Structure 1
Amino acid sequence: MAIRECAADAIKIINEYNGIVTDLDEENVYDAEVQVIPSVKDLSYNLENLEKRKDWIYDEATSAQLVYLYGMIGHKFNGDADLLFDLFGKKAENEDKNNLTVASLDIGGGTSDLMICKYTYKNNGTTEILPDPLFWESFNLAGDDLVRDLIQQIIIEGNITDESDKLCTGVIENGARAREIKNISQKLNGFFGKDSNNIGYKGKLMRTNFINQIAMPIVTQYMENANENKEFELTYEELFAETKPNIELLDYFEEHFGFRFEELNWKISSKKTNSIIASVFSKLIKQVSNVMHLYNCDLVVLAGRPCSFNSLEKLFYKYHSITPNRLINLNKFWIGRWYPFADNNGYINDPKTVVTIGCVISLMGGSLFKLENFKIDIDHLKNKLISTADFIGPIEDNAIAEEVLTPKIESGHFTVNTLPVLIGFKRIQSRYYPSRPIYSVKFNDEKITEVVQRRGDMPDSKLADAIEEFKHKIRKKMPLKMYITRDFMRDKERIQIEEVTDFEHNDVSKSYFELHVQTMSDEAGYWLDTGEFILNVK
């Protein structure tokens, strides 16, 4: 809900911008109406009025299921749903026809989305399928996390334990050690580590340029060869044969590390790449497989570019007892030439198009009824897909140790030892279940500034110090107790700060604090934008 509100605000800004542009140049204005679907209003209905919703959330994982089912029923089986449901489905008690429970995992760049749906169908001349969502979740582990670990473990740092690690493990670190460069840990942290006072604007710029111009092309080579089961060496000239990094960046690297980046050689090793892929996704696939087993899924559909790796697919066979004909990897599956973005052989060209085509199938088959002999009853998708923010509490070490708000407890408190505090949510009450950030509790700078200014005239030169002194006085009263509430039935994601007390149980004005929407764990920004890494080198 909070993300949809942010999207709606963004659309409003775009429309206002287009209005400004219209006054200047009417011929070059993008005049199509942009909408957020489902709308904030649609999502605002409380749990007792979900039947009023007009549309569903069009998530990636369900879209992947619809692409597969439409391709199979509408094209491979010429509209005969009996063939698919008899082949893969099972019959429940008191049911005449088989049902089909389909699990899908879409691993994108930022999130991995899981959906488990039970499908039933009618076949009266036109096939109509009814998806009934049983379980859905999003996890903050995906392709970008893999890229980050590939960069860190292959390019930046790592210990060589055997011959196979050479030239594909911490190539910069081990290249520096081979050249007897001193203070390697300090140099690596000074270039790639968390920001310090010693990293100026130029250092930050060069770091992000390194990620974009050097690191990304290198790890792309490793990923493109991950399924090839081979090793080969490449020089700098071979790696960057077409587009070379900026010379200023290469000179800065030499100035910082004491040797030229161009001197390094690289061993493209599928073994190394696949070991990192397994280490990144193993825990997630194990958790997801347990959920799939719990719901006795008949089919598993994989989507998203990271699922194209054979080593990731093997993790499903390791953790989930499923036969190969029931594991459908859309990256390798013959979908057919009906698919708008299929290659000449009928395979999906771009994994990113799956969600788009799935949404189109839902719209055409579930709302406009424009697909030939194929319909989708989207009532359950509209009425059942709700937020998974059942349990809310402060996040520590990427987990909610203690839930403050639950479906049955709508008010509670937590201890604030420092600010900001990251607030997260999860679906299942287990400390081992993954949590996701949703809010950050911070000082309300606007309110504090207003309070400080009311105390008398103050020159701008002293205002910042006075504001910081005010915050310092609050910090001295820590730990604070912060009391929060929500109306679970109305909007389980919307929480409010009700009361704040200090360590002596004295009231502290709640207006000094505010909740900010924050869905990333690092307030400083996304690692792809900052180029920062938490290094292990010593």
Structure 2
Amino acid sequence: FFGQKIIHDNLRTQCLNLILWPLALMILRSVMGKKDDLTFDRGASVLEFLLNSKFCVKKEILGDLAPNLRKNGWDLDGMPMESFTFPSESEVNKIVGDVKKPLLRTLYNYSLVLNAFKPSFVIVSGKLSSLVVMKKLLSLWMPSSPDRIIFLDKFRPGKWYPFLMNDIISDPKTSVAVGLAIADIARNATVDDGCYVNVSIDENANLNFIGINRVAQDGIPHLSGEEILLDINQNFSEEFPLNDRINIVYRNINNKDIPCNPIYRIGLKKGCHPDQEDPIKMKITRNAEDRTKLEFAFSGTVIKDGNSIKINDNHEDTNKENFFEEQVCTILKNEYYLDNPQFVKIE
């Protein structure tokens, strides 16, 4: 939907969550044995189906999205569900279990890493992990015995779980907070059942392989070996030119097929421009006390209000904070509320 233009990012996200996700979830759940989820009025339109689907969690937004789609050639109210052919259980398992696909290759690479640490238990979550073919592959690749590989498809979160609606956790990052809370209880509440998680930072904890990608660049970033600016054995990078707003991204595994996660967004403030005669350069350094944190140094000249100003952190007027934005970035495109605190106004 809506092509690849950046101005349509929000609309594409809405289409993914409100249209494609309910359809995909309906198909996957039928393969998982929930055959009733594939029962619907075949004479209904796609819009009517979505308005009645329990998997479409924000139906009120469809009223605004449908007219936008209609203007661009997708009339949800004019598309009958009977015109769609849904894949069979065997077809879904064949597609998901294709070891030639990037999903399975990435999963296999993660399995190799897990094997190196020889965990006592492996906990697996995600809708695809509920499929029989996926369970077979994971049981084959994982280092633990099958009875110690715990698939969470048979578990349900309690009503207390944050961002939970209709058994769907809309913000998966909460699992980190909940996991740390459980670890804290195990450590400090005298829970003497062998449950213990070490969440402290040790000298080996770090963002292992660090590079950059442009903010406007679409898709999940990957770094080739040549694009790594800072590897596991380096404490600082070489200087490199800063010509545009960038994301600082990282991966912890030395494999170019592993997708990277963003940690910072760097760029010139509004009204500031690079001087072509003395281009801006940037250097990344690991924090001496906490290798999971990064520090940034800049050199060159900035043009602001028609004046050329040499960057010099030793003086307040020429300090980098006057010219650059260093923003923490937990996911790409600034969609997480901690990166971009925008809240929907409820009338």
The counterpart of 2:285, out of the listed 477, 482, 485, is: 485
> Structure 1 residues 478, 253: CA separation in 2 closer, same or farther (over 3 Å shift)?
farther
TM-score by structure 2 length?
0.62
Which residue of the other structure, out of 266, 278, 285, is the alignment partner of 1:441?
266
Gaps of 5+ in 1: 1-187, 342-348, 446-466, 527-538
Q: CA 1:206–1:442 in 2, change beyond 3 Å: closer, same or farther?
A: closer
Q: What CA deviation, in whole Å up to 9, does each residue of 1:242-298 have, x standing for no partner? A: 825756754554443276543352233245544554546312310121112223445
CA distance in 1, matches of 2:149, 2:257: 27
- What code does the residue aligned with 1:218 have? L
Percent identity (aligned): 18
- The change in CA–CA distance for 1:374 and 1:251 in structure 2 (over 3 A counts) is closer
Instruction: Measure how far apart 1:484 and its partner are.
Output: 3.1
Query: For the residues of structure 1 that align with 2:14 and 2:258, how far apart are their CA atoms?
Result: 36
Determine the structure 2 residue equivalent to 1:515.
Answer: 326
Q: SS at 2:32's partner residue?
A: coil
- Given candidates 32, 42, 51, the residue that maps to 1:243 is 51
Please say if residues 407 and 488 of structure 1, whose CA atoms lie closer than 8 Å, have aligned partners that are also in contact: no
Q: 1:430 to 1:308 in 2, by over 3 A?
A: closer
Partner in structure 1 of residue 341 of structure 2: none
Once the two structures are superposed, the pairs formed by residues 201-220 of structure 1 within 5 Å of their partners are: 210-220=15-25
Q: Secondary structure at the match of 1:237?
A: coil
Deviation at 1:329, TM superposition (A): 1.6
Greater C-alpha radius of gyration? 1
Residue of structure 2 equivalent to 1:413: 238
Match of residue 288, structure 1, among 80, 85, 110: 110
Conserved 8 A contact 1:414-1:481: yes
Question: Which of residues 380, 388, 400 in structure 1 aligns to 2:206?
Answer: 388
Q: Map residues 67-146 of structure 1 onto 2, 5 A cutoff.
A: none
Residue 72 (structure 2) aligns with: 256
> Match for 2:27: what amino acid?
Y
The 2-side partners of 1:227 and 1:385 are apart by: 43
How many Å separate the matches in 2 of 1:205 and 1:515?
24
1:508 is displaced (CA, Å) by: 5.1
TM superposition shift of 1:387: 4.3
**Contact 1:234–1:267 (8 Å) recurs in 2:** no
Partner of 1:404: 229
**Separation in 1, partners of 2:127, 2:73:** 35
Contact kept in structure 1, 2:45 and 2:80, CA below 8 Å: no
User: Using a 3 Å threshold, how does the CA distance of structure 1 residues 409 and 311 change in structure 2: closer, same or farther?
Assistant: same
TM-score normalised by the chain length of structure 1: 0.43
Q: Deviations over 1:109-161 (max 9, x none)?
A: xxxxxxxxxxxxxxxxxxxxxxxxxxxxxxxxxxxxxxxxxxxxxxxxxxxxx
Q: 1:412 to 1:354 in 2, by over 3 A?
A: closer
**Distance change (3 Å), C-alpha of 1:485 and 1:321:** closer
Deviations 1:448-477 (A, max 9, x none): xxxxxxxxxxxxxxxxxxx3xx62x53x45
SS of equivalent residue, structure 2 residue 26: helix
Is 1:194 the counterpart of 2:19 in the alignment?
Answer: no
Partner-residue secondary structure (3-state), 1:399: coil
Aligned length, in residue pairs? 288
CA contact (8 A) 1:500 1:509 kept: yes
RMSD across aligned C-alpha pairs, in angstroms?
4.5
**Compared CA separation, residues 211 and 286, structure 1 to 2 (3 A):** closer
Structure 2 counterpart of 1:481, one-letter code: K
- Kindly provide the amino acid, as one letter, of the partner of residue 496 in structure 1: F
Q: Residue 153 of structure 2: SS of its match in structure 1?
A: coil
Runs of at least 5 residues in structure 2 that lack an aligned partner in the other structure: 53-58, 160-165, 215-220, 303-307, 313-319, 337-347
Give the direction of change, closer, same or farther, for the CA distance of 1:433–1:321 in structure 2 (3 Å limit).
same
Q: Please tell me the residue identity of whatever aligns with 1:394.
A: I
In structure 1, distance between residues paired with 2:127 and 2:92: 15
Q: Per-residue deviation at 1:399?
A: 1.5
Contact 1:253 1:261 in 2 (8 A): no
Contact 2:206–2:291 (CA under 8 A) maintained in structure 1: no
CA-CA distance at 1:431 after TM superposition? 4.5
Residue 501 of structure 1: how far off its partner (Å): 7.3
Give distance in 2, aligned partners of 1:354 and 1:205. Answer: 25
SS at the partner of 1:243?
A: helix
AA partner of residue 243 (structure 1): L
State the shift of 1:237 in Å.
Answer: 1.6
Q: Report what 1:374 is aligned to.
A: 193
Query: Which of 292, 312, 316 matches 2:138?
Result: 316
Partner SS for 1:193: coil
CA distance in 2, matches of 1:254, 1:287: 42
* Secondary structure of residue in 2 paired with 1:398: coil
| Higher RCO by CA contacts (8 Å cutoff, separation 6 or greater) | 1
Letter in 1 for 2:189: L
The one-character-per-residue Cα deviations of 1:357-388 (angstroms, maximum 9, x if unpaired) are 8666544442121x4x635455x443649743
| CA distance in 1: counterparts of 2:85 and 2:254, whole angstroms | 45
Q: Helix, strand or coil for the counterpart of 2:22?
A: helix
- Does the 8 Å CA contact 2:278/2:300 hold for their aligned counterparts? no
Check conservation: 2:118, 2:144, Cα contact below 8 A.
Answer: no
**Number of the residue aligned with 1:449:** none
Q: Check 1:394–1:360 CA distance in 2 against 1; reply closer, same or farther (3 A cut).
A: closer
| Partner of residue 177, structure 1 | none
Distance in structure 1 (CA, Å) of the matches to 2:50 and 2:210: 50
Q: Which residue of 1 aligns with 2:152?
A: 330
Secondary structure of the residue aligned to 1:328 is strand
Q: Which has the higher helix share?
A: 1
Mapped to 1, the partners of 2:249 and 2:158 lie a distance apart of: 39
